[in-house]
Amino acid sequence: MDYTKQIKEIAGKLFSEEKIDVFIGYRNSGFDENQVPVLIHHYQDVDQLVFTEKSVFNLTNYLKYEHTRNKRVGLVVKGCDSRALNLMLTENQVKRENLYIVGIACEGVVDEAGQKAQNCLECVMPDSVVFDEMLGTPSGKREYQVNADIRELDGKELTERLTYFEEVFENCIRCNACRHSCPLCYCDKCCIDQETSTLYHGANTTSSAFHALMTWSLHLAGRCVDCRNCEKACPSHLPLHLLHKQNEKVVYENFQEHQAGMIEGDRGAFYKYSMSDPDDFIM
């Protein structure tokens, strides 16, 4: 998967036609094989752009920041990124007319070890669902399958899961990197920030991590698109995807096979309801 040439061309064209103010893409870090997201403002910088299977980070995250507000932005999105973008569009965080979206028919990105990333193996929608231009051949929607880790943990005893997650929460250092790197966590004031929340206090204890991570993942339930920006950002390498995948599973199984950000205008599982939703757990 290498679309470097095409992306350079597209970005160059957009700049020369003055269709955009800023283009968000990837460049080589120059130190190792990793890539660094880059915000390009001028035509002459277009040459930096690359796109390979090392282009991991979800770029829609940058649409949250002041740099891109009210500017015409061009950006590259993979399948999962485009689903996040779709949600941002329906939640009125960005304006469609301000965006020029270069969609990718993604063949999967690689992780640090050079293996195909886990979320790409389970990807349900590798192609961009919202785009102005599409690179590659779309391979279509795939069957949903329950994450292997979830299946494994589900088979365990309650206390075993408790011990496992106890360790997860204990290792959390409450840096909030997960929240900041998530494109869908765009609130200016977050309920798990000490400075802005009246209920949350900032001590980095195990229970505060429990509180913060649980609240955070529940606020993303039915919205998480499994781009794993949070896991990449986590300095403690916590398996944050477990919480999201669990929510995704519950949502998929119980709410008419809902999947976040697949359809334009679909606001997520918790903005709608059905009379036939499960009711048996309620007294």
Partner 1 sequence: METEVIEKIVSIEKPHLEAPPDWQPVIMGILCNWCSYAGSDLTGTSRIQYPPNIRIIRIPCSSRVDPWFIIKSLQTTADGVLVSGCHPGDCHYISGNYYARRRFLVTKKLLNFVGYHEDRVQFSWVSAAEGQKFANVVAKVTEDIKKLGPLRLYKKENS
Partner 2 sequence: MNLTTYSTDSAGLQAFYEAIINAHETYAPVEKFGKYDFKKVDSLAGCDPDSPIPQTMSVKSLFFPKSAKVMKYTATSEGTELSDTTEDPLAGKRVVLGVKHCDARGLQVLDAVYKWDYIDTDYEKRRENTILISPRCDQAVTHCFCTSLDYDVENLDAMDVAVIHVGDGKVYLQARTEKGKNFLKENNKGLSAANGAAKEEMKKQYDKFAGSFRLSMDYKEINEKMQDKFDSPAFEEVSSNCVSCNTCAFVCPTCHCFKISDEKIRDKGVRYKSYDSCNNVYFTLMAGGHNPRPVKYRRWRQRSMHKFVYYKERFGVNLCIGCGKCTISCPVNISIFEVVNKVVNTMQE
Partner 3 sequence: MICTIDKIIQETPDIRTYRLKFREESLTEQFNWMPGQFVEFSLLGSGECTFCIASSATRKGAFDCSIKRAGIVTADIHRDLDEGDEVGIRGPYGNWFPLKDLKGKNLLFVGGGIGLAPLRSLIQYAIDNRSDYADFTILYGARTSADLCYKEELEEWKNNESLQMILTIDKPEDTWKEHVGVVPKILEEVVKPKVENTKVITCGPPIMIKYTLMSLDKLGFAPKDVITTLEMKMQCGLGKCGRCNIGSTYVCKDGPVFTYEELNTLPDEF
Question: Which residues lie near partner 1 (CB under 8 A)?
Answer: 153-154, 158-166, 169-170, 191, 199-200, 203-208, 210-211, 214-215, 217-219, 221-222, 242-243, 246-247, 250-251, 254-255, 269-271, 273-275, 277-279, 281-283
Residue 90, SS3 per DSSP = helix
d(CA 77, CA 191): 29
Closest CA to 59 of 45, 38, 30, 40: 38
Residue 208 vs 246, nearer CB to partner 2:
208
Specify the DSSP class assigned to residue 64: G
d(CA 228, CA 121): 13
Q: How many CA atoms lie within 13 A of 21 on its CB side?
A: 7
Of 55-63, 78-86, 163-171, 194-202, which part binds partner 3 (CB under 8 A)? 194-202
* Residues making contact with partner 2 (CB under 8 A): 29-32, 34-39, 57, 61-62, 65-67, 167-168, 171, 173-177, 180-181, 193-196, 201-205, 208, 229, 232-239
Out of partner 1, partner 2, partner 3, none, what residue 214 binds, judged by CB under 5 to 8 A for its kind, is partner 1
Out of partner 1, partner 2, partner 3, none, what residue 4 binds, judged by CB under 5 to 8 A for its kind, is none
Q: How far is CA 113 from the centre of its chain?
A: 20
Which residues contact residue 118 at a Cβ distance below 8 angstroms, ignoring those fewer than 6 apart? 111, 241
Does 198 contact partner 3 by CB under 8 A?
yes
Residue 90 vs 205, nearer CB to partner 2:
205
